[in-house]
Amino acid sequence: MESNPPYLGANWKCGQEASIRVIHLCCAALILGQEKQSLLGLQQLVRLHLRRISPTIHYAIAQNNNHGTSEAAALFIGGSWLSSLGSSDGKRWEGLGRCWLENRAKKLIEKDGSFSQYSLNYHRMLLDTLSFVEIWRQRLGVYSFSSHFYEKSALATSWLYQMVSPISGDGPNLGANDGSRLLQLTDSSYRDYRPSVQLAMAIFQSRPAYLKAGPWNLHLAWLGVPEAEGKVPVYVDCDYDYGGYKILRHGDANLVLRYPQFRYRPSQADALHIDLWVSGVNLLRDAGSYSYNSVPDLSGYFSGTIAHNTVQFDDRDSMPKLSRFLYGSWLKASHISPISRNHISVTCSAGYRDFRSAEHVRTVSLNENSVSIIDEIKGFNQKAVLRWRLPNSVWGIENTDAGTLVSDGKSSLVVTSDAPILSARLTVGWISMFYMQKEPVSVLEVEIGRAGIFTTNYRWPV
């Protein structure tokens, strides 16, 4: 407080930062068993924060993202705490926070559990926020939220569970990823989402996500949540058509197809991106975010079409960039087919037409140890480039009359086209698994100059 006078300086500038401090203060009080009694100085500190947050809550709500959920949570948690300690102003903040939490759950969580930010990491932040709100509500004995609030929270829990590998705890690096991790109560990797999934599953579905003992149970222990009993959920094929995701599964492999179903602003031009995972290892990868303020500025690269496993037309993004965080001419999906399954493969498709009339339809078939991707493209002016972002290995390339082959001696990827291939090369791109960190990645680029069909076959060892 001496170094950061209230409402002055960077640490008071953002209502969400103030909200996260409130949540952390309350979390510490809960862990220490001080939620029902606390020093007056701590109560006054929480009150100062709520006075900072409440005047700008409507600005946070207007963002339709984590700002609104975080600030509503802080108002509810801090307000209910002050109210329980006898403060007359706490009740008003508690009611304001409750109102907006109900509103955010209803509006921002889709009927399939997808969240408005189209981001795996911000989905975790949403779940951690809702989980702690409910833990705090129960601990203070405050009356429950609506049944709709709990239904949406359970759907959001299932969404993250289906996305995350039970082997590694990691998941597709989809959407914005600027390092947010609300509940840092384990020494597990930042990219291990299992602690958050285990906590939310126990709270909102009254069952475990993972049966074996591990760091994913530490959130429960710290926060006094009993370990749930019962059967774990089943991993299934998922048609998340409200959020724009399809998850295909076959044996140890799962594939995520990202397609444009935007009710809220997209942060990345990742239409028809594919993420492929086998036994917890990411074989076809998303670039991530890296930084919003790097020098030189690389935000356009990481959010752009060039950084995804898809087709880029005429060296441009599939949507025009209007500002650092805003795209225009939002894409609308077409040619969406439900996931179909037979004894050999799992299949789906989706497509779009962009603001300059370029069209792309992608059909995916996942088999036991291979995947086939067919890309039908047309409507561009000069060229179309198909990119595949490969896992860390030593890759060799061979161009033949039949197509382009890349291999690392174990896995192989072959691209063919019914249009003449103008060039096919292995290049070096970037991938960012952690904010402000990036590393080189091998990228296969295959270019054609007229409408045609790319066929890609990726095979890995059983």
pLDDT at 386: 98
Q: Which two tokens stand for residue 59?
A: 């600005």
pLDDT at 402: 81
pLDDT at 295: 77
pLDDT at 78: 98
In sequence order, what are the beta bridge partners of 258? Answer: 245
Angle, CA of 329, 290 and 16, to the nearest 5°: 80
pLDDT at 341: 96
Same fold, 10-223 and 238-459: no
Euclidean distance between CA atoms 331 and 269, whole angstroms: 9
Q: Write the CATH number of the domain with boundaries 10-223.
A: 1.50.10.100
Q: Which two tokens stand for residue 128?
A: 């951690």
Domain ranges of the chain: 10-223, 238-459
pLDDT digits (tens, 9 = 90+) for 344-379: 999 999 999 999 999 999 999 999 999 999 999 999
Closest to 352 in 3D by CA, of 384, 302, 314, 318? 318
Q: What are phi and psi of 8, to 5 degrees?
A: -120, 145
Q: Class for domain 238-459, per CATH?
A: mainly beta
DSSP 8-state assignment for residue 228: P
In sequence order, what are the beta bridge partners of 443? Answer: 389, 427
Q: Which residues of the chain have pLDDT under 70?
A: none
Euclidean distance between CA atoms 325 and 323, whole angstroms: 6
pLDDT at 65: 96
CB atoms within 10 A of CB 256: 23
Q: Which H helix or E strand runs over 201?
A: helix 194-204
H helical segments located in 54-146: 57-62, 66-84, 90-108, 120-140
pLDDT at 88: 87
Burial of 342 (0-12, 13-18, 19+ CB in 10 A): exposed
The bridge status of strand 421-434 relative to strand 412-417 is: unpaired
CB atoms within 10 A of CB 312: 24
How many helices (H) and strands (E) would you count in the chain? Answer: 11, 19
Euclidean distance between CA atoms 83 and 74, whole angstroms: 14
Euclidean distance between CA atoms 193 and 219, whole angstroms: 12
- For the full predicted model, state whether its pTM sits above 0.85: yes
Asked whether 274 and 260 are in contact (CB, 8 A), the reply is no
Residues near 119 by Cβ (< 8 Å), separated by ≥ 6?
Answer: 174, 175, 176, 177, 267
In sequence order, what are the beta bridge partners of 430? Answer: 440
pLDDT at 325: 81
pLDDT at 299: 87
Which letter, b or e, does each residue of 10-39 get, where b requires 16 or more Cβ atoms within 10 Å of its Cβ? eebebbbebbbbbbebbbebbeeeebeebe
Asked whether 208 and 140 are in contact (CB, 8 A), the reply is no
Q: What are phi and psi of 5, to 5 degrees?
A: -55, 140
Burial of 144 (0-12, 13-18, 19+ CB in 10 A): exposed
DSSP string, 2-61: -SS-TT-SHHHH-HHHHHHHHHHHHHHHHHTT-TTS--HHHHHHHHHHHHHHGGGHHHHH
SS3 content of the chain, % helix, strand, coil (to 5): 30, 25, 40
Q: What is the Cα Rg of the chain in Å?
A: 23
